[in-house]
Structure 1
Amino acid sequence: MQRHTYSLDRWEDRSGHRQTWTFGYRGTAGEFGKIEVVYPVRRHGDRHVTEVRGDAVPTMSFDGWAYGRKPSLFCAQFSVGRDGIRLKRNRWAQTRAGRALRMRVAGRDYRYLATTARHRDRALVRDGVEIRSSRQGKGARKKAVFTVLGPADATDLALAAVMCGVNTRNLTRGGAVRAFFNRSLSWLEVFQ
């Protein structure tokens, strides 16, 4: 089975007002060329947008309710180019496999799931291809590392990359509980 490893370095632009700060990952991924993940590219009130673009990868954007600097899976919208993609997940499932985010892109079915209880390790899976992603390091040395198993194409890698700019804590039970309490406390602030 084919196996390749690519890493994207974390970057940030803190120029101007803090509402205009942007963050992300960028680097070169072999034959896929340069890839850049940017979040938040745009802000719409309480919603943030993460976008991935590059030399050979399709442009993708993920729009969701803001959780920190990233969009979350809550009320999310996903698009590849100009095509909207339907996202499905079972938020009440007890296992990580049951809580996986499911989507159909370019006629292929994908699952994006947590591989460990910690929020750093995820996997994008379709028939014959698996891309494991993890975030390593701290501070300025932080990286997003992708391990590609199987004959992946540019769409596969772009999907895995855009999800690095999305808060996916809800893919684990513990992360879902923390996200629920954070949302509840945020909503309570609105009524004060």
Structure 2
Amino acid sequence: MQQTYTLDHWEDRSGHRLTWKFGYRGTAGEFGRIEVVYPAKRHGDRHVTEVSGDTVPATSFDGWAYGRKPSLHMAQLSTGGTGIRIKRNRWAQTRAGRALRMQAAGREYRYLATGRRHRDRALTRDGVEIRTGRHGSGARKKATFTVLGPADATDLALAAVLVGVNTRNLTRGGAVRAFFNRSLNWLEIFQ
């Protein structure tokens, strides 16, 4: 069984730039309406991405700000009010080795890069895979979710919140680029 859902990109640039919001929203079949918002909140140098919807549990990802999205650095994830521990091996050489590992609702999940670019990812657990992709530009930007297997609302909420997170570090090349960007930003502090 395979189903594909598409969420449209939206932006709210009203007010001061620190209050701007971005995200994706749309309808995902039997799961109903889903909305991803980033940054939903800002706490100093930390940003929060939130997912809400008709049947999906409220899910949030809090991490060190990298652009508009939270990054994997010092990250915290929660779904349905329950905190989820995230683990990853930042020194691994393969995409599978660099995958995020988490446990939610008594199930083991992995979130990994499926391509060299930062737009293609997959959330997997026993018997279920949700492939996520972002494509298009400007007003035509979209996020797609291809569900393989009997996924439930928690699976979809986790996949949706991770679309609103900077996950470049899940590839070796993305980790190198992120390191150089952080280093250059750090050097600017001393000028």
**Normalising by the residue count of structure 1, what TM-score does the alignment of the two structures yield?**
0.98
SS state of the match for residue 15, structure 2?
Answer: coil
Instruction: Measure the CA separation in 2 of the matches of 1:187 and 1:84.
Output: 31
What CA distance in whole angstroms lies between the structure 2 residues aligned with 1:58 and 1:174?
33
* 1:28 alignment counterpart: 27
8 Å Cα contact 2:13-2:20 kept in structure 1:
yes
Percent sequence identity over aligned pairs: 81
Per-residue deviation, 1:183: 1.1
Q: Which runs of 5+ in 2 are unaligned?
A: none
- Residue equivalent to 1:86: 85
Task: Give the 3-state SS of the residue equivalent to 1:174 in structure 2.
Answer: helix
Provide the rounded CA distance (Å) in 2 between the counterparts of 1:89 and 1:82.
22
Deviation at 1:21, TM superposition (A): 0.2
Alignment of 1:124 with 2:84, yes or no, is no
Deviation, structure 1 residue 189: 2.1
- Give the deviation of 1:137 after TM superposition: 1.1
Q: Are residue 156 (structure 1) and residue 155 (structure 2) matched?
A: yes
Q: Distance in 1 between matches of 2:129 and 2:178?
A: 27
Letter in 2 for 1:173: R
CA distance in 2, matches of 1:165, 1:46: 17
Q: Specify the SS of the correspondent of 1:119.
A: coil
Paired with 2:147 and 2:81, the residues of 1 have a C-alpha distance of 26
TM-score by length of 2: 0.98
Aligned to 2:75: 76
Provide the rounded CA distance (Å) in 2 between the counterparts of 1:133 and 1:48. Answer: 21
Report the CA distance between 1:175 and its aligned residue.
0.2
Alpha-carbon distance between aligned partners in 2 of 1:158 and 1:80, rounded to the nearest angstrom: 8
Aligned partner of 1:179 in structure 2 is 178
Aligned to 1:95, what secondary structure does the other structure show?
coil
Q: Distance in 1 between matches of 2:67 and 2:5?
A: 26
Amino acid across the alignment from 2:174: G
Q: What SS does the aligned partner of 2:102 have?
A: strand
SS in 2 for 1:118: coil
In structure 1, the partner of 2:187 is 188
Structure-2 separation of matches of 1:60 and 1:74: 18
The one-letter amino acid paired with 1:37 is V
Unpaired stretches in structure 1, ≥5 consecutive residues: none
* Number of residue pairs the alignment of both structures matches: 191
Q: Match for 2:67: what amino acid?
A: G
CA shift, 1:80, in A, is 1.1
